[in-house]
Amino acid sequence: MAFDGITIYALVQELNQKLCNGYIEKIFQPESDELNINIRNNKRNYTLLLSSNANNPRVYIAQNTKPNPKIAPPFCMLMRKNLTRGRILSIMQPLMERIIEIEIATFNELGDQVNKVLIIEIMGRHSNIILVNKETNIIIDSIKRVGSNISRYRQVLPGKDYIYPPSHGKCNPFDMNYAQIKSLLNMFPKNKKIENFFVNSFIGISPLISREICFESDVYNGEAIKNLSELDKDALIFSFLVLIERIKTKNFIPNIVYNERERTIIDFSVITLKQFSQLNAKKYQSISVLLESFYNKKDNLNRVKQKSNSLLSIINNKLDKNYKKLVKQKEEYQKSIDASIYKLYGELITANIYNFTGNSDRIILTNFYSDNQEKIEIPLDPNLTPIENAQKYFKIYRKSKNAIQQLSKQIIATEKEIYYLEGQIENIKNSTELQEIEEIKEELRLEGYLPIQYKNKESKNKKYPSSIPLHFISSEGIDIFIGKNNRQNDMLTLKSSSSEDIWLHTKGIPGSHVIIKNSNLKITDKTLIEAGMLASYYSKARHSQNVPVDYTKVKNIKKPKGAKPGMVIYDDFKTLFVTPNEDIIYTLKRVK
């Protein structure tokens, strides 16, 4: 993602405008690598978030913050001691580096002014937050200490001189002209991609911005330097200089680019990206609002993914056990079915008592039950009389007959459990919010698949708010709702729908309940097919063809007593066959 020098350049302008001359009132450290600094300026309160997280380093003015620990960590205490009541003099970005420097005027015990610089380095796993004495350039402390065992070139420790991270010989793009860029381009390794040229030659240029330059120039970003014509080079340099001028004017348009089809965030930028003109871009009023929205969504998706993976692992494990159990049950069932031969053995022995002449371990008899009257060889226990052998076979048959009845019930129960668990997998895949995952977890606890772990009375009585089903509008303007988990399915079908609404579900396939709201409008085949596509898409049959989807009025739906969440029975239904088509599905307006 593009938290590059250009984003920081734009962010610094915003921070200066809102925070410069403000006073630091409070400092908190909610995470080991994160600070929240409360600032009062122009009769307004601001919270500046600083994070040196290796995966998501960031800086912005936050509207929402994490809870703080009851006991402040040592670094937080040091920051409070050094910066509380300090006044922000300036916020700068050295060159175009991914560094923000906040100069703060503070006072020592004697009342003398001592200026300090809070430096935030936004550099992936090397990100850091460092407090430096402005006059002496000596490090006071850092949120991450870097000793000689980690870096011989640059130690970040109290008492050490502060040294900037290496720039690797990159140039400041603001200082470059056509001739200088052309010279650099001609000296760049010929086998390297043109995209690498901008990233490796100029400070603050990310791969995203490099690709934008190539797109504006109509040059493939993966093209090798040696294959570029002079016209290509001129176009690239011209696009680069135009982009830099756009940045110098400070006419920023914070935006997040996302894929409406996949509901995924592609990237964010402070300028309009023409390379993503075919995708959706949401504009924001400020860079801080953009960044907070982006990282909150990213954090939410990561947490949903983490919790989803944990649940999927548990359910898949239980499914594997049930699959194996079902195979074993069906094998036992088949053996019991095959045991009907023992009834025949007993009857033939009984009917042919007169043919027995002494103790033998087998006898060949005519099967008079068969039209072909074939001969059957029947094993015997020579230690038993013929009658006892017959009784033995009848006993085996009766036992097998009882087993058939029990196994039939067990197979049905196992198949229902598999259907339920497969449905939960689809529910988890459909979840995009943490509360939806929590609802699934709560249901699995109540159904006995997860242990109930109440830590205290408060958590025992805690009830999660109900999540909201998906809401689409058909091409004919009719509302269609889709449950994303069993709680939503039950609520949607059994409580919030009217008796004349249309209910749809994939036939015998785990999936979501779908409701077409029947608001005195005739439900046409077109809307019915669109709803059927949604039912098949939000099911285990998403990638199948000619998926059977049953539909009926809600008044024909019943929930049997004791049925698991999401389980219903229905009658007076019809079946349509649809093939999920994403191109059609994504043309439907999505409300939620």
Q: Confidence class of residue 465 from pLDDT cuts 50, 70 and 90? A: low
Which two three-digit tokens encode residue 229? 């014509």
Q: Which of 490 and 356 is assigned the larger pLDDT?
A: 490
DSSP state letters, 328-359 = HHHHHHHHHHHTHHHHHHHHHHHHTGGG--S-
Of the candidates 260, 255, 297, 263, which has an alpha carbon nearest to the alpha carbon of residue 279?
Answer: 260
The string of DSSP codes covering 29-72 is EEETTEEEEEEEETTEEEEEEEE--SSS-EEEE-SS-PPPPSS-
Q: Which stretches of 431-518 are DSSP H helices?
A: 434-446, 457-460, 486-490
Position 544 scores a pLDDT of 95
Cα 158 to Cα 131: distance, rounded to the nearest angstrom: 9
What whole-number percentage of the chain has pLDDT above 70? 96
Task: Say if residues 115 and 135 touch (Cβ distance below 8 Å).
Answer: yes
Mean pLDDT is lowest, of 217-221, 367-371, 422-426, 449-453, for 449-453
At 169-178, the pLDDT tens digits run 999 999 999 9
Q: What is the pLDDT of residues 98-127, one digit of tens each?
A: 999 999 999 998 889 999 999 999 999 999
Run of H or E residues at 411 = helix 386-430
Distance (Å, whole) CA 141 – CA 82: 11
| Interval 334-357 mean pLDDT | 87
Q: In the numeric block, which tokens belong to residue 480?
A: 């269609």
Give the three-class secondary structure for 80.
helix
Helices (H) and strands (E) in the chain, counts: 14, 23
DSSP character at residue 153? S
pLDDT band with cut points at 50, 70 and 90 for residue 357: confident
Q: How confident is the model at residue 261 (pLDDT cuts 50, 70, 90)?
A: low
CB-based burial of residue 468 (10 Å sphere; 0-12 exposed, 13-18 middle, 19+ buried)? middle
CA atoms within 13 A on the CB side of 418: 16
Query: Closest Cα partner for 412 from 332, 339, 326?
Result: 326
DSSP state at residue 166: P
Angle between helices 287-338 and 386-430 (to 10 degrees): 170
In the sheet with 255-259, reading across from the earlier edge strand, the strands are: 264-269, 255-259, 280-283
The Cα 516–Cα 534 span in angstroms is 11
Please tell me the distance from the alpha carbon of residue 198 to that of residue 184, in angstroms, as a whole number: 10
The reported pLDDT for the residue numbered 458 is 47
Q: What is the pLDDT of residue 298?
A: 82
59 CB-side CA count, 13 A: 30
Over range 549-564, report the average pLDDT: 95
37 bridge partner residues = 27, 48
Place of tokens 């130690």: 155
Q: How far apart are CA 262 and CA 590, in angstroms?
A: 13
Backbone φ, ψ for residue 415 (5° rounding): -65, -40
To which residue do tokens 């609802």 refer?
439
563 near 551, Cβ under 8 Å? no
State the pLDDT at residue 283: 94
Least confident span in 299-303, 539-543, 564-568: 299-303
Predicted local confidence at residue 464, as pLDDT: 52
How many residues does this entry show for the chain?
Answer: 592
**H-run or E-run covering 133:** strand 128-133
- Give the amino acid at 146: V
pLDDT of 570 > 80? The answer is yes
528 CA to centre of own chain:
30
Residues 291-312: pLDDT tens digits? Answer: 999 998 888 888 888 899 999 9
Nearest to 1 by CA among 264, 215, 220, 300: 264
| Amino acid at the residue 585 | I
**SS3 of 169, please?**
coil
Asked if 237 and 246 count as a contact pair (C-beta separation under 8 A), the reply is no
- Give the pLDDT confidence of 177-229 residue by residue, as tens digits: 999 999 999 999 999 999 999 999 999 999 999 999 999 999 999 999 999 99
Q: Give the per-residue pLDDT at 167.
A: 84
Distance separating the N- and C-terminal Cα atoms of the chain: 26
Long-range contacts of 584-590 (CB under 8 A, 24+ apart): 584/530, 584/533, 585/530, 585/533, 585/534, 585/537, 586/260, 586/261, 587/475, 588/472, 588/473, 588/474, 588/475, 588/480, 588/530, 588/534, 589/472, 589/473, 590/470, 590/471, 590/472, 590/473
Average pLDDT over residues 405-412: 93
Evaluate whether 287 touches 10 at the Cβ level (below 8 Å).
Answer: yes
**pLDDT confidence bin for 260, thresholds 50/70/90:** low
- Of the pLDDT bands very low, low, confident and very high (cuts 50, 70, 90), residue 432 is confident
Average pLDDT over residues 32-52: 97
- Work out the burial of residue 212: count CB atoms within 10 Å of its CB; fewer than 13 is exposed, 13-18 middle, 19 or more buried: buried
Token pair, residue 175, equals 């200082």
